[in-house]
């Protein structure tokens, strides 16, 4: 999607180059045309009451040119955004899904989850966790944040920011819209590190897990599949 911003900058660059090529010539409206100019010939042809100085004409050119450029670039960006949204359509939020996010406000991983939920216009409640006592998450054996509790008729706990994002994205794209089924795609794996401490990881945490029919509908090309996987990391 970032490509259309690059093309918009090229439009601006061409406009600036054209302006420089005019050597600062300001423009004054002629009857029946959209050509503008400045100089003694034009000034002498204007009626006395319409003669204006070079500074006034220059200001008029700058204001008019800037406004025209703004509307041109705005229209161009709107068109490119529309094309991008058609290529990567946003899914409508599920009315049957209730979400509660347990977080530390300043935690970057929690901010990452909030940004994802906000981008997809998913309503959610926030529970601020005391970083010392953590009484708010005493129900969980997983003692880190973020934790997302999803309820689509059955409550499901989702741990780890990357798993949360990948699982909710999968849920939104899936035909089944079953959160319990989606979570089964991200199995928990326990192991011990070099210090003998137990650590928990999740398989497929960076992947959107779609059935072939859903994958072909939303991401028919390899480029599109690469895009969505990068989006969820």
Give the dihedral sign, CA 80/208/175/211.
positive
d(CA 15, CA 176): 50
**Beta strands of the chain (E only): which ranges?**
98-103, 125-128, 147-151, 155-159, 188-192, 198-202
Residue 232 among the catalytic residues: no
107 is known as an active-site residue:
yes
4, 76, 88, 109: which one is catalytic? 109
Active-site annotation holder among 4, 104, 124, 218: 104
Distance CA 134, CA 10 (A): 52
Catalytic residue among 36, 61, 102, 110: 110
Could you confirm whether 104 is annotated as catalytic?
A: yes
Structure token pair of residue 134:
């953590």
Which residue in 88, 107, 124, 218 is the catalytic one? 107
Active site residue 109: yes
Task: For the chain, give the longest Cα–Cα distance.
Answer: 93
- Catalytic residue numbers, as ranges: 104, 107, 109-110
């Amino acid at each position: 999607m970032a490509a259309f911003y690059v093309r918009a900058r090229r439009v601006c660059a061409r406009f600036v180059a054209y302006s420089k090529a005019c050597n600062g010539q300001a423009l004054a409206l002629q009857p029946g045309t959209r050509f503008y100019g400045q100089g003694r010939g034009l000034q002498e042809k204007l009626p006395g009451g319409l003669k204006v100085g070079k500074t006034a004409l220059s200001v008029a050119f700058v204001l008019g040119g800037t406004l025209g450029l703004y509307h041109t670039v705005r229209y161009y960006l709107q068109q490119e955004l529309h094309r991008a949204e058609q290529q990567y359509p946003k899914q409508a939020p599920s009315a049957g899904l209730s979400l509660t996010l347990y977080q530390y406000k300043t935690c970057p991983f929690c901010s990452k989850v909030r940004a994802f939920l906000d981008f997809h216009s998913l309503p959610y409640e926030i529970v601020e966790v005391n970083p010392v006592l953590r009484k708010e998450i005493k129900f969980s054996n997983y003692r880190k944040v973020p934790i997302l509790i999803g309820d689509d008729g059955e409550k499901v706990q989702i741990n780890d920011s990357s798993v949360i994002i990948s699982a909710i994205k999968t849920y939104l794209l899936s035909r089944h819209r079953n959160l319990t089924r989606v979570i089964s795609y991200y199995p928990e794996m326990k192991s011990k590190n070099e210090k003998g401490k137990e650590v928990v990881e999740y398989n497929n945490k960076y992947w959107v897990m779609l059935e072939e029919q859903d994958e072909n509908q939303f991401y028919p090309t390899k480029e599109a599949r690469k895009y969505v996987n990068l989006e969820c990391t």
